Structure formats: C-alpha cells, structure tokens
Structure 1
C-alpha cells in the first residue's frame, strides 16, 4: 500500500477550503523554524500572512520559532507580521537544546491549532501552496493524520539551476533505508521535506529528535502507530532553497541514522530526543483536551 497522493491544485480554492475548515471547527497554526534566515524570512512571512491569514483565514496564527539567530531574522520576521519566539523561552524549565527538532517540539506546546503546519525559513520561491497543499488533505480527509509535501529540488550551481540535483541525502541515505526496512514508506517522494502538516493528537504522542533526524523519526513513529493509511503526500511543484554543504549534509545524515536505528527494527527513544509532548504536565495543563486523550490511552 502506498501513501495517498494529492496535488496542491486540489486545494487551491481557498474560499471553499476555509469554509470546510470552519464547518468542522478546526484551527490551523503555522510554524516557521529559523536560524539565520534574514535573506528569505520577511518575504515568507509577508506572502503567507497576506494570502492565508488576512485575505483568506486558512491560518489562525503564524509563529516563527527561532534557535537564536545572530542576524536580523527575528526583527525582519516580526516586522513582516509574525509572532516571533525564541525556542529557549518556551518550556524554559525543560532546558534548551539546539536543533530544528527542538523548535518543532516546542511548537507543539506553543501553537494553539488542531492542525500544525511547518514551512522551512529558507524557501526562495515561497507560495501559499506550500501551506494549503499540506493542510488541505487534513481538512477534507479525517482518516489522514500526517501530510508531507514533495517537489522538484533544483541544485543551485554557479552556472545556474540544475533541475536534476537536490535531495541528495534522501536518495543516497534515506530512501535506501526505507526500501530495506520500511518499504511502504519508500513511496514517499520527499521524506525529509520541511513542508508538512499534522494533527495535534498525532504530534503530541511521539518523541522528537532535537536535530535533523526529526522528519525521519516522525514518519517511522506515525507509520508504526497509525499505519500507512494515516500518511499522505502532496505535490507542491518546485521548491528553491539554500543548499547545504557536504559537511552539513554529513552531520544531517548522522542525525538521521541515529533516529532511524533507534526505531528499526525495535522502536525506542534515541539519545538527544524529547519525550512525547503529551507526557509533560505543563502541556496537559495548557491543553486539557489532551489530558482527556491521555487518560483514554492509559
């Protein structure tokens, strides 16, 4: 069985999508995790706020959670209309760890939505489809709980754009691992995509690696707990972003391997991971409905 597949055009009637969202009483929050993204963050926030919060109320909040940028990322994001919060200021008694996964874990506590949507802060061709394409399936299909975006990822080279490049860690590392150990997940075109959306009741129950292993861990944990039918993917066309150096990709691969082999063949909490948010008393106090869900699972 393969994950359900959609195209962002399936959800581009925003007036209809917002009406469906409101009919079922859902709230949608957007998190943009950042670290030194001053070149792109202002336009990302501006475009998404204008189209998806002001013109169409698909989003109920836009929050930038920052790892401690040393450039103008936070100032530019705030000026563009986002709520900006330092990750270190969320759940301070839990301490602070550096990494993208840390920001995403703290977003589960900070954001109010029933659906949480994530968009990376380095997108150079930002468009509302990066949000409505992943949120749409969750609004329309209650059986789906987790939606990944996928796209062409051009490799920006000195001589221009090479449409054949990009997605190097996916093709060299992650896809072979999935094909070997979890073939149902190998049908995902971009398992490491930073653009995805999920229901709160799923995210609150899974551990979060604090680094780049977070997306791989999500897929494995959601698949094990809910099956491939709960996972979907949406074609978002093309995404242009800042490509990483080989050294950065090496560190990313190491963190992915740690997350992967802490779960395969037997899932367990890996080193450097945060516990499921639903296990924190602070979270249960903030979201009483989650406490009720926790009691039902016990």
Structure 2
C-alpha cells in the first residue's frame, strides 16, 4: 500500500494532492501486487471471472496474452477474445492458445455494430458470463499472469471496490530502440490535464487510459460505453459519478509494453478523449462529428492537409 496519507477533507495536503485524493491514494493503491494466485483463489468462492481481450489484427501478440491469462489457473473461468474485425491470423492464433473467439456480429445480432473499441467492450458484456470482467489489451508483450492476479485482488479483498485500474511504467518503443518511459503520450498531454480541470477527484489515478482493468458486472451493465478510444476515461468518470471515488482502486502491474502509435493516430485518439471528457463534464454534449485537419509532408508539392473525421459514438447501459 502506498505511504501517501490524508484526512479525506478537501484542500491541498503535504503531497500537493487534495486531502481527499491523498487519502484515497493511500487506501486504494497497491504497489506492488501483494497477492498470490493461491490466496485469491481461496477468496474467490463462487465468484466467476471472465477475461476479455479486445483484438484487431494482433496476430503477433494475442497468443502470448491468452497464455499469460490462462496461467492464472482457476482464478479465470473463461477467456474470450472479441474479434473487432480482424483480417489477419489473430482468430487462429487465439483459438490455438485456448481462447474462445467471438465476432461482433455474433453478439446482439439484431444490432449492427458501431466502429470503435468501446463497441467491442460493450458487446463483450453480452458474450461473457462472469460476475467480474477483466479487460486486457491483446497487443501486450512480455506479460504474465500477474495482470489477472493484480486486477482481481482489490475486487476479491475489498467488498466496496467496483472498478480496478492497472498502472505501469510504459516504455516508448521506437523502430530500433526502446526508451524507458514516454509511451503514455496522450495520457500526459491530454487525459491528465483534462481530469485536472474537469474531474480533479480522479487526479490520483496513474493510468486513466490504461486498457488493463477489471470491474464487477453489476457496475458495467449500469454504465454507458463511449464508442472510441475515450471508452476507458469515460468508464472512470461515470464510475465516479454513480458509485463514488472509493469504488475505484488501482494496482501496479509493473511494465506494460505494446506497440506505440504514430503521432497522427494519437491525434485522433486525443480528439476522441477530448470529446468524451467535455461531454461527461457537461461542457460540450453535442454529437456533431469533428473534422481533424492534420498535415503530411510529401514530394512534390510540400505539405498536404489530411482530414480525419472524428465521430462521437457510444452505447447506453447494457441493462437498458
């Protein structure tokens, strides 16, 4: 458990955090993971656990992630890879590794799928049965069963916890090199400043955009799901709204390595996150698409504008 402490009152504390956030950080942050699979299995009882891997063309990594999840043994009752429209060998690799693969159009077949990661996660609630859902991105490398153990720990030991976020050091993986940190560029340049302005009670969350998290099904079925890359920060803000800060916890999962996207793709991601946060904050609830203008350098002719449309889609709570 972190050593940061606070009284739970408003106002800045010695760490620079508000007393409420500092107190939350002390009580709801575990670093490193203190539980063994055997300890959690003894606490699991009749609780069922589904692990969901949203995947879109992850043939090089999906089998390794499935194997890491399955290494958690009886803590996991089912491993489901949600096929977001793969055109490579992701599905074959996932099946070979022992996962069940579900295509989007197999779930809620009367409802045409929307684009985006949030849609994949939303439909996964109808494709799984677990009391607890663990989400793990399928593009991770060098991952182990601690991703499951860590995320399940607070949910099995703290009855009031409903959502657990993983956090980690994120190296920046370039073509031929790897920098120790710097992989969380959108987090630092977009998500964290937005939370500081519009949801400062969440300022103690280390990785608000992280794709590794777990939650109780009862909570997830009550939450709307943003359609794109804003889904994670939206779930965080909506959990705060309906369940309170103490329902959220976070666990240090060590190092998270995955492919890093180029700046143009990160610009689209940042735009989706901006739209979601402004919507949740009540500042801009319009669903009008935004045309994001970016520029590419080419020859002949120099720089050329490239317009990428950013849609704000999403689904209401599954319970409805």
How high is the TM-score relative to the length of structure 2?
A: 0.82
Shift in Å, 1:107? 0.9
Please name the residue that 2:47 is paired with.
26
2:117·2:229 contact (CA, 8 Å) conserved in 1? Answer: yes
* Corresponding residue pairs, total: 272
Please name the residue that 1:38 is paired with.
59
| More strand as a share of residues | 2
Please name the residue that 1:276 is paired with.
317
1:80 aligns with 2:97: yes
1:7·1:133 contact (CA, 8 Å) conserved in 2? Answer: no
Bigger radius of gyration? 2
* Residue number among 123, 130, 133 corresponding to 1:106 in the alignment: 123
Shift in Å, 1:8? 4.6
Shift in Å, 1:244? 0.8
SS at match of 2:182: coil
Larger relative contact order, structure 1 or 2 (CA cutoff 8 Å, min sep 6)? 1
2:278·2:285 contact (CA, 8 Å) conserved in 1? Answer: no
Please name the residue that 1:15 is paired with.
38
Which consecutive residues of structure 1, in runs of 5 or more, have no partner in the other structure?
280-298
Shift in Å, 1:266? 6.7
| More helix as a share of residues | 1
Which consecutive residues of structure 2, in runs of 5 or more, have no partner in the other structure?
1-19, 288-311
1:266/1:146 CA distance change after superposition, 3 Å? farther
Deviating 4+ runs (over 3 angstroms): 265-271
Shift in Å, 1:203? 0.4
Residues 237-281 of structure 1 deviation map (CA, whole Å, 9 limit, x = unaligned): 1111100111111111111112111110379796411010000xx
Residues 139-173 of structure 1 deviation map (CA, whole Å, 9 limit, x = unaligned): 11010000000000000124521113110000000
Which segment drifts farther, 236-245 or 265-274? 265-274
Shift in Å, 1:46? 1.8
Please name the residue that 1:155 is paired with.
172
Q: Which residues of 2 match residues 213-232 of structure 1 at below 5 A?
A: 213-232=230-249
Please name the residue that 1:296 is paired with.
none
Please name the residue that 1:6 is paired with.
30
SS at match of 2:34: helix
Which segment drifts farther, 244-253 or 114-123? 244-253
